[in-house]
Homo-oligomer: A and B are copies of this chain.
Amino acid sequence: MADRARRLPRPVPATRQGAAVLAVVQRSGTFRSAQDVHAELRTAGQRVGLATVYRHLQLLAENGVIDALQSADGQTLYRHCASDDHHHHLICRQCGTSVEIEAPDVEQWAANTATRRGYTDVTHTIEIFGVCPACRKPASRAQRHRTPPG
């Protein structure tokens, strides 16, 4: 839990079709569940086992390559972050696309708030949800019914 960005000798996929799993998450820029990724791979003709998808997803998350979090209905979702640095996300409630944002002030505030009350080893979680401009316009495009967490 306390190890972040640990660059082990085996940084990323390590296996061939593990790469397929990563590719799906990486390219979609959205929250994906294991089942989701598995389905997509199957559809794409890739013969990958569900268990394997789970295994790789966990692995990637452990290595900090992707981000894991829980959806409101209990599924574990994964997303790929463009930057390795600490940052937060602005997520579209409709299409699930997330934009990375930085907020030094808020980081500072969070740290101060906790420290002031005597808390140590402080971390935080910040996510902003909204409807993005693209989804706002009614007839722009077919929007998936993906439910973002939170």
* Interface set of A (CB-CB < 8 Å, partner B): 70-72, 74-76, 90, 92-93, 99, 101, 103, 105-106, 109-110, 113-114, 117-133, 136, 149-150
Copies of the polypeptide in the assembly: 2
Q: Given A125-B127, A127-B125, A129-B123, are A113 and B118 neighbors across the interface (CB < 8 Å)?
A: no
Tell me if A132 and B103 are in contact (CB < 8 A).
no
Q: Give every chain B residue within 8 A of A129 (Cβ-Cβ).
A: 122-125
Q: Given A119-B92, A136-B118, are A128 and B113 neighbors across the interface (CB < 8 Å)?
A: yes
- Give the 8 A-B residue pairs with the shortest CB-CB distance, closest first: A119-B130, A70-B70, A118-B133, A122-B130, A114-B130, A124-B128, A125-B150, A125-B127
